[in-house]
Structure 1
Amino acid sequence: MRIKTIVIYLPIVFLILYFGYTQFENKSIKTISTTELAQKLEDESSSNTIFVDVREPHEFEAGHIKEMKNIPLSTLKTDYKSLSKDAEIVLFCRSGKRSLQAANILKDYGYSNVVSVNGGIQAWQGEVVK
Structure 2
Amino acid sequence: MDSKIRELESEELREIIAGKKEKNFSIIDVREDFEYNSGHIVGANWIRLSDVEKNPDLVPDSKEVIFYCRSGARSLAAAKIFEESAKSEKTDSIRNLTKGMLGWDGATLPEPPRIDLFKGKKTFEDLLSRAMEFEKGAYLFYSAIYEKYNFLPYSDTIRILKKAETAHAKILFRNLGKPMDQFDSYFENIQGEIMESGITVEEALGQIESFSENICIDLLELLINIEASAYDLYKVLAQKNESTKSAFLTIAQEEKAHMRSIASSFILCA
Superposition TM-score, scaled by structure 1 size: 0.72
Stretches of structure 1 that go unaligned for 5 or more consecutive residues are 1-26
Moved over 6 A (4+): none
1:101 alignment partner, SS class: helix
Shift, 1:86, TM fit: 4.9
Match 2:53 to one of 53, 77, 94: 77
CA deviations over 1:76-99 (Å, ceiling 9, x no partner): 123421334552111111111111
Q: Is the 8 A contact 1:89 1:114 kept in 2?
A: yes
CA deviations over 1:58-89 (Å, ceiling 9, x no partner): 00001001110000002112342133455211
C-alpha separation in 2, matches of 1:35 and 1:46: 18
Q: Which moved more, 1:70-79 or 1:56-65?
A: 70-79
- Change in CA separation of 1:84 and 1:70 when aligned onto 2, cut-off 3 Å: closer
% same residue? 29
Give the aligned CA root-mean-square deviation in angstroms. Answer: 1.8
1:104 alignment partner in structure 2:
80
Residue-pair matches, total: 104
Higher-Rg structure is 2
2:44 alignment partner in structure 1:
68
C-alpha separation in 1, matches of 2:58 and 2:52: 10
Kindly report which structure 2 residues correspond to 1:18-97, keeping only aligned pairs within 5 A, or say none. Answer: 28=3, 29-45=5-21, 47-97=23-73
Shift, 1:122, TM fit: 0.6
1:95 alignment partner, SS class: coil
Higher relative contact order structure (alpha carbons within 8 Å, sequence separation ≥ 6): 1
- Change in CA separation of 1:79 and 1:129 when aligned onto 2, cut-off 3 Å: farther
C-alpha separation in 2, matches of 1:117 and 1:37: 8
> One-letter code of the match for 1:58?
F
C-alpha separation in 2, matches of 1:99 and 1:84: 16
Q: Is the 8 A contact 2:47 2:58 kept in 1?
A: no
C-alpha separation in 2, matches of 1:106 and 1:125: 26
1:124 matched to 2:124? The reply is: no
C-alpha separation in 2, matches of 1:122 and 1:73: 18
C-alpha separation in 1, matches of 2:8 and 2:20: 18
C-alpha separation in 2, matches of 1:103 and 1:81: 13
> One-letter code of the match for 1:82?
L
Q: Is the 8 A contact 2:23 2:62 kept in 1?
A: no
Shift, 1:114, TM fit: 1.1
Q: Which has the higher strand share?
A: 1
> One-letter code of the match for 1:88?
E
